[in-house]
Amino acid sequence: MTTTRQALIAMLMSISTLLSAQPFLPDAAGEQFIDSLLSLMTLEEKIGQMTLFTSDWDVTGPTLRTDYRDDVAKGKVGAIFNAHTAAYNRELQRMAVEQTRLGIPLLFGYDVIHGYRTIFPISLGEAASWDPAAVERAARVAAEESTAAGLHWTFAPMVDISRDPRWGRVMEGSGEDVYLGSRMAVARVRGFQGDDLSLPNTMLSCVKHYAAYGAAQAGRDYHTVDISDRVLRETYLPPFKAALDAGAASIMTSFNELNGIPATANAYLLRDILREEWGFKGFVVTDYTSINEMVMHGSAADDADAGLQALRAGVDMDMQGAVFYNYLGQQVKTGQADIRHINEAVRNVLRLKYALGLFEDPYRYGDENREKAVILSAAHRAEARDMARRSMVLLKNERNVLPLSTSLRRLAVIGPLADNQADLLGAWHADGKAAEVVTLLQGIKNKLGNTTDIRYVKGCEVTGNSQAGFEEAIAAARISDAVVVAVGEHEWMSGEAASRSDIRLPGVQLELVQALLRTGKPVVVVLMNGRPLAIPELAAQAPAILEAWFGGTEAGNAIADVLFGDYNPSGKLPITFPRSLGQVPLFYAAKPTGRPRDENNKYTSKYLDEANTPLYPFGYGLSYTTFAYGQAAIDKPSMKLNDSLQLTITVTNTGKRAGEETVQLYVRDKVGSVTRPLRELRDFQKIQLQAGESQQVTFVITAETLSFFRADMNYAPEAGEYILFVGSDSNASQSVTIRFE
C-alpha cells in the first residue's frame, strides 16, 4: 500500500517537474485549440508547418530559395529565418495571416548568437567570464532587441562541447567543459526565454547542434563523429539536458553522423533519448539542408528517402532542404509516410506558436517604436561593455606591466586588429554593424583624451607575408613609453566552415610582435581570436598578454578599461591553450594512463618533442591583484547518498587592489568501476574581494557532485574515496580526500 502510494507520489512529482521545466506547454484550452486547428488542416498545410525557409537577407548556408514569399502566401511554409526588422517581418506575417486559408502565423528565426545589433563578445568569450548572471543578461539584451525586430526564435544556445581548437565553431560554444558548458547553456536559455514566452520581448531558444557536432574528426567542420555511448553521455549530452531542463523550447539536429547514423535521422538521439528518456515536448528542427545531406553521407538513396528517414526518426521541421515540402505529400498518399508522425510534428510546432501568443496577436513582436527605443540603446551598449570586460583573460603580466598608467606621455598602438571594426564583431554577429564598433584605438583615445600622444601604425595584415609596415611600427614604438599591439585572427577564421589546420598566429604577426619586443619597450599583446591559439613564443617573450577574443560593439572601450586598470580582469579560460597543435586534443578532464609521464623512463606516456602540459590550462586567468588560498577543510570525512558535506576554504586578496576570483572545485574518483578523469569541474563560485580582504568559501558536496556514469551506466556515486581539489584553475593544488559510503 505504502509503496504504491509512494510510487504514485513520485510519478506525480516527476510529471510536475516535467511540466514546470517545459513552460511552453499549453494548458488544456491551448491543446484543444491546437487539436481543432489540426483537424482543419489539409496535408499540404501541415507540411507547410514542417517547412522552414531562409529569406534572401542573409546567407548562412549553401543554397538559397528565392521564392519564399510565394510559398508564404500559399501557406506552404510555416517559418522563415534570416528575415528581420519589424517592418519587413510584419509584411511577411501579413501574407501568412491574411492570404492563407487558415491564417496560421509564421515563426521568424535567426542566429542571434551573441547579440542582435548590440554585439556582445563571442560566446566563447562570454563563457570566459564564468559569470552565468552576466551571460543571462547578455542573452536578455539580445532577446529585447531581436524581438523588437520581429524575431520569435533564436538558433541559440550552441552548447557543443569541443576539445579541438582547429574546429572554428569553438567560438560559438562555451568551450571544453561539461559543467561550465551546462551552466552557460542554462543562463542563455533563461536570458532568451525569460519567465513567460508570450511576452513580446522573450523568444524561443533552440539548443544546438544535437549531437556531438563538436567531436568532428580532426577538427574539420561537418566531419564524421565516432564516439562511444559513454563519451556521448558523459561529455556531449549534459549541456543539452541542462538547457532542456531550463525550458529550451526547440532543438536543432547536427550535420554530422554519429557512429554511422546521421544525427538528423538518428532515432536513438531523437526518439529514445530526447523524447523517451528526457520527455521533451518542444520541436526538433534540422540544421540547414541536413536532411538532403544524408545522400552525400551515403545513408539515403535520394532526398525522398532521406526525408522519410528523418520523419521517422523524429524530425519536426526541415530547415531549407525543401524535402518535406517536395516529397512528404506524395509519401503519405503512397502509405510510405505515417500521418501520425506528421500530426505529431505539426502539433509540436503549433504548441510553440501558441506559447508565443502568435494566435492571439501575430504582430505582437516586431515593433518600430520598440526597435528605436531598445536597439543599440545606451543601456545595451553599457551591458555589452561590461560583458566584454568580464570576458577578457589576463594570460601573462610580468613585472606588473599592466595596468598601464593613464599619464603616459606617448603610447604606440600597433597591429592589424588595433583599429579594426569588422573583425571585432566576431562570426555570427546577426545585425551587428562594423561601423558601430569601438575599435581598440578608439577605446584608448576615449580613455586618454588628449593628454597622451597616441601613435597608431598597422604594421602588417592579419595574413600575408609583407613586413613593409614593420619599420614604421618600430619607429613609433621607439619613441613611446609603452606599446599595445593587437594581433590575432580575422573574424571569418572561426565560426562555421572555418576550421584551421594551423592554430598559430597567422601571417607575420608574431614577427611584428617580436620586432616590437626588441625595442626594449614594455609591450602589451592584446589577442583577438575565436579559438585557442598556439603562442609559445609570445608566452615566453612578451611581458603581458591579454586575451580579448572578439569583444563586440563595445570591445575597444572594454579593452581600454582593462588596459588602464578601470576594470581588474577576472576572466578564466573556458578552453585549454595548447603549446602546439601536435598536443590536440588536449583538455584538462583527461583520463589517467597506466604509464603516466616520467621524464626518466622512456616507456611512459609522452612526446619526444613536446611537453604533455598545456601552455595555459583550463580555468586559468590572472588578475591585477593576487589571491592566496588557505587550507581546504571538510566538516566530516565521509557521506552517504542523501547526505551532504561541506568543503570550506579561505581565499585572501593579497594584493593592492580589489578583484574578483573564481574559486573552482574539481573532483576525482580514485578507484571506480570505470576509469575516471584526472579531475572534473563540479562547481565554482565567483567572489569579489577588497585588497587585504579574506572570505571563506563553502562548497556543498552532494551525491550529485560525486556522480558519474558507472560501469552499469547508472548515474550515481560509488563507494570509495574521492579527491576534491579547490583552487584558481584546473591545476588547483589544494585537496582533501573524502569517502562516499
The alpha helices in 542-606, defined as continuous H runs, are 555-563
Nearer to ligand NOJ, 60 or 442 (CB): 60
Q: How far is the CB of 106 from ligand NOJ (least distance, A)?
A: 16
Angle at 273 between CA 267 and CA 277, to 5 degrees: 135
- Give the residue among 295, 296, 289 at the shortest CA–CA distance from 324: 289
Q: Identify the residue whose cell numbers are 579594426.
A: 420
Q: How far is the CB of 112 from ligand NOJ (least distance, A)?
A: 10
Nearer to ligand NOJ, 131 or 172 (CB): 172
List residues bridging with 254 in a β-sheet: none
Nearer to ligand NOJ, 57 or 359 (CB): 57
Nearer to ligand NOJ, 325 or 725 (CB): 325
Q: How far is the CB of 496 from ligand NOJ (least distance, A)?
A: 5
Q: How far is the CB of 287 from ligand NOJ (least distance, A)?
A: 5
- Give the residue among 356, 373, 350 at the shortest CA–CA distance from 86: 373
Nearer to ligand NOJ, 63 or 690 (CB): 63
What is the distance between the alpha carbons of residues 107 and 660, in angstroms, rounded to a whole number? Answer: 42
Nearer to ligand NOJ, 254 or 570 (CB): 254
Q: How far is the CB of 421 from ligand NOJ (least distance, A)?
A: 23
Nearer to ligand NOJ, 173 or 569 (CB): 173
Nearer to ligand NOJ, 72 or 113 (CB): 113
- Give the residue among 271, 549, 556 at the shortest CA–CA distance from 413: 556
Please give the single-letter amino acid code of residue 453.
D
Helix/strand/coil for 478:
helix
DSSP letter assigned to residue 402: P
Name the residue with the smallest CB distance to ligand NOJ. Answer: 60
List residues bridging with 397 in a β-sheet: 544
DSSP letter assigned to residue 78: S
Q: Identify the residue whose cell numbers are 588595433.
A: 418
Kindly name the residue from 131, 160, 164, 287 that is annotated as catalytic. Answer: 287
CA 601 from chain centre, in angstroms, equals 41
Kindly state the cell numbers that stand for 363.
Answer: 504582430
The length of the chain in residues reads: 741
Q: How far is the CB of 206 from ligand NOJ (least distance, A)?
A: 8
What is the distance between the alpha carbons of residues 172 and 114, in angstroms, rounded to a whole number? Answer: 8
Q: How far is the CB of 49 from ligand NOJ (least distance, A)?
A: 19
Q: How many CB atoms lie within 10 A of CB 195?
A: 9
Strands in 111-189 per DSSP E: 153-154
- Stretch (H or E) spanning 412: strand 410-414
287 is catalytic: yes
List residues bridging with 108 in a β-sheet: 80
- Give backbone dihedrals phi and psi of 520, rounded to 5 degrees, phi first: 80, 0
Q: How far is the CB of 208 from ligand NOJ (least distance, A)?
A: 6
- Give backbone dihedrals phi and psi of 598, rounded to 5 degrees, phi first: -135, 115
Which residues of this chain interact with ligand NOJ, rule CB under 6 A? 60-61, 111, 155, 208, 287-288, 496
What is the distance between the alpha carbons of residues 189 and 245, in angstroms, rounded to a whole number? Answer: 10
Q: How far is the CB of 498 from ligand NOJ (least distance, A)?
A: 12
DSSP letter assigned to residue 317: B
DSSP letter assigned to residue 260: T
- Give the residue among 473, 475, 453, 476 at the shortest CA–CA distance from 461: 473
Helix/strand/coil for 740:
strand
List residues bridging with 527 in a β-sheet: 487, 547
Contact 175, 507 (CB under 8 A): no
Nearer to ligand NOJ, 84 or 679 (CB): 84
| Residues recognised as catalytic | 287
